[in-house]
Homo-oligomer: A and B are copies of this chain.
Amino acid sequence: MKVLIVEDDALHRAFLAEAVRAALPECGQVIEAENGLKGEAQARIAQTEHIVMDLQMNERNGIEAARTIWRERPDTKILFWSNYSDEAYVRGVARIVPEGATYGYVLKSASEERLKLALRSVFVESQCVIDREVRGVQQKSLGTSLGLSDVEYEILVDVALGLTDKAIAQRKHLSLRSVQNRLQQLYEKLDVYETPGQVNVGWFNLRTRAVSVALSRKVLNASAIERAERDLRQSAGL
Binding site for B on A (CB under 8 A): 9, 11-12, 15, 83, 108, 159-164, 166-167, 192, 196-198, 202-213, 215-216, 218, 221-222, 225-226, 229, 232-233, 236-237
Contacts and interface: CB of A to CB of B under 8 A. Distances in A.
* Of listed A83, A192, A222, A232, residue having the most chain B CB within 10 A: A222
Contacts of A215: 222, 225
Contacts of A83: 9
A207 B207 CA distance: 9
A209 B208 CA distance: 9
* Of listed A15, A203, A207, A232, residue having the most chain B CB within 10 A: A203
A229 B205 contact: no
B163 A203 contact: yes
- Specify how many copies of this chain sit in the oligomer: 2
Contacts of A210: 162
A216 B2 CA distance: 36
A96 B160 CA distance: 29
B225 A212 contact: yes
Contact of A229 (B12, B202, B207, B212): B212
Contact of A12 (B11, B167, B232): B11
A161 to B, nearest CB: 6
A164 B212 CA distance: 13
28 contacts: A11-B11, A11-B15, A159-B205, A160-B208, A161-B209, A161-B212, A162-B212, A163-B203, A163-B204, A163-B208, A164-B202, A164-B203, A164-B204, A166-B202, A196-B232, A196-B233, A196-B236, A197-B236, A197-B237, A207-B207, A211-B211, A211-B212, A212-B225, A215-B225, A216-B222, A218-B222, A221-B222, A222-B222
Contacts of A161: 208-209, 212
Contact of A164 (B192, B205, B226, B237): B205
A202 B170 CA distance: 12
A218 to B, nearest CB: 8
